[in-house]
Chains A and B, each alone.
Chain A
Amino acid sequence: MDLTDAKRIVVIGGGQAAAQAIQSLRMGGYAGELTLVGEEPALPYQRPPLSKAYMKGEFAEERLYFKPAAWYADNKVELVLSTRATAINRTDRKVELEHGGHLDYDALILATGSRPRALPIEGADLEHVYALRGLADVERIRPQMVAGRSILIVGAGYIGLEAAAVAQQMGLKTTVLEMAPRVLARVTSPVMSEFYETEHRRQGVDIRTITSLSKLEGKDGAVTAAVLSDGTKLDADIVLVGIGILPNEELAKDAGIACNNGILVDRDARTSDPRVFAAGDCASRPLVHFGRAGRLESVHNAIEQGKLAAAAILGKPRPNEDCPWFWSDQYDLKLQIAGLSAGYDQIVVRGSPEDRKFAAFYLKNGTLIAVDAINSPPEFLASKKLIMSGAKLSADILADTSISMKEIATNAVAA
């Protein structure tokens, strides 16, 4: 459907995908009405620092904002904040708002994000039991992060481990529980899991795998202790739950838009309704370089889909669908990930984990599909290109640190 005559565009969401879509629309020359509806009171902001530097209190809230308030005024973007969109009426092309009223649209972008999976156990509703998703969560958690207190982190994914690193550095007694036999089990290989387990333990974090939480106990409404699946009882002043996120797809689903663990979109970020787009955590998209569809929870994905949606609405050529990438900061370790490792049949390690500077390459049928690079930007940056090229690579060459990544990339792409 041609939407180049759209005069009213509504974007629902206040995160990375929403911010990108709005910028791309204005930069791309869209001059019509543009409205952003966000549940949170803050201007659209970056989430990655929430479990990293911002959690430590290293900088002011304003530095999380993508753009200052003046930018929205200068660019004639109407901000409807602290407001939930409650329904989409696709027949009349209206978005209903919780405080009454509605917004008309010619094109609609859903950038509704995701929400933390809730912990289905007794005591989960006690005070000082938190999830970490938005600014408001950090505002609640930070005053409790006092040296000497005990924090129990449930779930050893990236959020859990990043928060564990922050808590440990702030002097809290930090314990991490993970149901699976290893940390990061859902997202990476045993090589990386072992590396991070070793690192966190060396830093003093108590990591307990194959252990789950049975219940939380409290006093005067606040959590005091946790009972684990093995019967152990641990003191806990703070509990932080990081057991994954769920896409906010209900708005779309209730409006009859196709969803399946995410709002289903095509390569242009278009949903089953040609006037409605979805971008970021909430969307399940074709992963063209990997021959399947799926939901990616990352900054790069949000930026890319924000751009795709804007380009499709403006009738511009489809922007590049680049190699997916991610990062995680823990202590002084920078992990940079390129590609998607699911389905690999070979791991090649370059460098040595003991040096805290190494990379794990994931190959499938001799082709590179992903890399986890610790403090190794060249391995990461070269892999982004190599993954896209689909070139065959030899394990011996990848593992040989006497050959630079530049050389490997040049030779592989040429072949």
Chain B
Amino acid sequence: MAKITYIDCEGTERVVEAQNGETVMEAAIKNSIPGIDADCGGACACATCHVYVDQGFMDKVGEQEEMEKSMLDFAENVQENSRLSCQITVSEDLDGLKVTTPESQH
């Protein structure tokens, strides 16, 4: 279990208890976090679950695979800490994680 904070583009924070093994995207969808669409349901096919990962957690969220890198390369407003939240799996290590959602996923 890990507490994850989702911050929307206006700065509003929402805290969620995420289960180990689910993804940061799934935890958001289950809890109706606005700002994450996840149209493809986690297949790394749509790039609509883009988040900015808190700098302190960049080494804990794991490496990007080639497909994700390539998808993000084409998303809007990509930053160094951009990730697709469907590709980040929750574990105890991520307790306290903060992610910010972009203004738009399209």
Contact present for A325 and B30 (CB under 8 Å): no
Taken residue by residue from 297 to 330, chain A's Cβ proximity to chain B (1 for < 8 Å, 0 otherwise) reads as: 0011001000000000000000010100101010
A5–chain B nearest beta-carbon distance, Å = 26
Chain B, interface size category, equals 20 to 34
CA distance A66 to B73 in the complex (A): 28
A405–chain B nearest beta-carbon distance, Å = 7
B45–chain A nearest beta-carbon distance, Å = 4
Contact present for A381 and B74 (CB under 8 Å): yes
Tally the A-B contacts, defined by beta carbons under 8 Å. 55
Indicate whether A377 sits within 8 Å of B73 (C-beta atoms), given known contacts A63-B26, A67-B30, A71-B30: yes
Within 8 Å of chain B (Cβ to Cβ): is A103? no
CA distance A71 to B29 in the complex (A): 10
Within 8 Å of chain A (Cβ to Cβ): is B39? yes
Contact present for B30 and A299 (CB under 8 Å): no
Within 8 Å of chain B (Cβ to Cβ): is A46? yes
Residues of B with C-beta under 8 A to A327: 40, 43, 45-46
B93–chain A nearest beta-carbon distance, Å = 21
Contact present for A406 and B74 (CB under 8 Å): yes
Indicate whether A377 sits within 8 Å of B39 (C-beta atoms), given known contacts A71-B30, A334-B44, A336-B45: no
Within 8 Å of chain A (Cβ to Cβ): is B70? yes
CA distance A376 to B69 in the complex (A): 11
Contact present for A378 and B73 (CB under 8 Å): yes
Within 8 Å of chain B (Cβ to Cβ): is A68? yes
CA distance A382 to B70 in the complex (A): 12
In the complex, residue of chain A having the shortest beta-carbon distance to the beta carbon of B41? A46
Chain A, interface size category, equals 20 to 34
Taken residue by residue from 62 to 99, chain B's Cβ proximity to chain A (1 for < 8 Å, 0 otherwise) reads as: 00000100110111000000000000000000000000
Main secondary structure of the interface of B (DSSP, over half): loop
Cβ < 8 Å to B, chain A residues 4-46: 23, 27, 46
Within 8 Å of chain B (Cβ to Cβ): is A294? no
CA distance A303 to B106 in the complex (A): 14
Contact present for A334 and B67 (CB under 8 Å): yes
Contact present for B74 and A377 (CB under 8 Å): yes
Contact present for A300 and B73 (CB under 8 Å): no
CA distance A114 to B27 in the complex (A): 30
Within 8 Å of chain B (Cβ to Cβ): is A48? yes
Indicate whether A329 sits within 8 Å of B43 (C-beta atoms), given known contacts A66-B29, A67-B30, A377-B67: yes
Which A residues are within 8 Å of any B CB, using their own CB?
A: 23, 27, 46, 48-49, 52, 63, 66-68, 71, 299-300, 303, 320, 322, 325, 327, 329, 334, 336, 375-378, 381-382, 405-406
Knowing that A322-B106, A334-B43, A377-B74 touch, tell me 15 more A-B residue pairs with CB under 8 angstroms. Answer: A46-B41, A49-B41, A52-B43, A63-B26, A67-B32, A71-B30, A300-B39, A320-B106, A327-B40, A327-B46, A375-B67, A377-B67, A377-B71, A378-B70, A381-B47
- Interface CB pairs A-B, < 8 A, 9: A68-B30, A299-B39, A299-B40, A327-B40, A334-B44, A377-B47, A377-B70, A381-B71, A405-B74
